[in-house]
Every structure is written in structure tokens, then in C-alpha cells.
Structure 1
Amino acid sequence: MSILYGVLSIFIIITISSLIISLILRFTDLQEHSINLFVTILSFAALFIGGFICGGKGRQKGWLAGGMTGVSYTFLIFLMQYLGYGHVFSFSQIVYHICYIITAMMGGVLGVNVLSNRSEKF
């Protein structure tokens, strides 16, 4: 169940970020290529936060919970890309998604440690 919370939080963060970025691109003179790094950082932050939430909800084995959150996210993106557009992942996308999974794992480990220690104090 904690994986579902993590994946949902990732999609909520990404949806809100996409809306804000699209509005910025629409109503300013910025071009897509000028904010690629910013979008990549937001993506990694979303995966980290999703892993953190998943680890906090699971309260044990944060690396596994975060990793499963990252794998679930990657699987959903792959399904959308393959079934919707008929394309498989390119090499650069594979590298990004491996890094996403690792980032979600780190978030899961931190989520278990931070949120478990906080709940023990109260």
C-alpha cells in the first residue's frame, strides 16, 4: 500500500510541475531547451519525494519500498510510451530510469529512518 502512496505522490508532483512549466513556457519567452536541466531536477526530486513517502508509510526496508516505487513508476511510464506511442525506451531513457529507481531507493531509506525515528519519540 505504501508503494501506491509513493507512486501517486510522484504523479501528483509531476502533474503540478508540468502545469506550472507549461504555463511558464506559454506566457514567457523561455524555450524548452533552456529549462531542460530544471525539468530533470524536478523529475529527480519527485522520485525522491515519492520514495521518501513510500518509505515513511512502510516503516521498514526503505530501499526495497523505494526501489519498488521507482520500478512501478518506470513500468507505468514504459506502458504509456509503448502502448500509447509504440516506442520502447531509448538508451538515454533507460539510464534516466535506472537513476530514477536509485533516487527513489535513497528517498525510501531516508523516509524510513527519518519518519520512524520521529514516531518513536512521540
Structure 2
Amino acid sequence: MENKLWITPILYGLIAVVGTLLASSFMLSLLLHFTALSETAIHWFLLPITLITLFAGGFIAGLKSGTKGWYVGGVTGLAFLLLVWLISFLGFDTAFRLQNLLIYSSYLLSSVIGGVIGVNMSPKKF
């Protein structure tokens, strides 16, 4: 398969991840504004929401590609991680810590697993 054909499923997965995270952060901000919840209470929901979203993005990428789900799921996860790292480093001037490595590894693993499952659900099996 040519490289151009790999870009489309990865972009579908990345758009799904970013769109879902934007929608979920909007809903969480509404919860913070209109309820008595504090930011520390919402903090516990952020990691599971992001893991599920990256799983879904990898799943969509694997579903669209039809083959090599680990590859398209992994590249989708890496593209998201690059975006998050650039925003946190350039936008907020935060240093990279061991905790970030563990969280980013779990994000990548979630995306890869989603890609593998997405390929197995795909009607484009070769």
C-alpha cells in the first residue's frame, strides 16, 4: 500500500480524537460551571476519558485502513502525542517528567489496541 493511502485513516482517527476531546472538555467545563464540583474532582475523569478517546481514534483508523491496525493506531497515537507535547511544551512551558512518559505510553498503547481491534472489525480484510 502506498504512503498516501495511510494518511487518510490516520487523519480520520486524529480528527475523531481531537473532536471528541474538545466535546468532552466542553461538557466537563459546563459541569464545573453549573455544579459544585471542583477541578480536583474532575481531574480523576481526565485520564480515562483520554484513554477511551484514543482507543476510539485508533479503532477508527484501523477500521478505515483495513490492514496493519497496530501501525495506523500507533501513528495516530503518536500524532496526538506530538500535538499534546507541542502544546504543553511551547504553550505552557512545562518540562517533560517521568509521569508524562507513563501517561503517554498508556495513551499510545490504548491507540494501538484500538487500531488492532478496528482492523479485525473492518470489512476491508485482505
Q: TM-score, normalised by structure 2?
A: 0.88
Return the letter of the residue paired with 2:51.
F
Residue of structure 2 in register with 1:32 after alignment:
39
> How far did 1:82 drift?
1.6
Find the counterpart in structure 2 of residue 12 from structure 1.
Answer: 19
Judge which range, 46-55 or 74-83, deviates more.
Answer: 74-83
CA contact (8 A) 1:78 1:88 kept: no
Within 1, Cα distance between the matches of 2:114 and 2:41? 28
Query: Does residue 1:103 correspond to 2:110, yes or no?
Result: yes
The one-letter code of the counterpart of 1:42 is: I
2:94 match: secondary structure: coil
Residue 106 of structure 1 aligns to which amino acid in structure 2? I
Is the CA contact 1:25–1:32 (under 8 Å) kept in the aligned structure 2?
yes
- Deviation, structure 1 residue 88: 3.1
Determine whether 1:47 maps to 2:54: yes
RMSD over aligned Cα atoms: 1.3
Shift of the alpha carbon at 1:34?
1.4
**Matched AA of 2:118:** G
2:96 to 78, 89, 92: 89
TM-score by length of 1: 0.91
Say which is worse superposed, 1-10 or 85-94, in terms of deviation: 85-94
Q: Which runs of 5+ in 1 are unaligned?
A: none
* Unaligned runs of at least 5 residues, structure 2: 1-7
Which consecutive segments of 4 or more residues in structure 1 shift more than 3 A?
A: none
What CA distance in whole angstroms lies between the structure 1 residues aligned with 2:42 and 2:120? 33
The one-character-per-residue Cα deviations of 1:46-94 (angstroms, maximum 9, x if unpaired) are 0000000000111100011101111110011111112212223222111
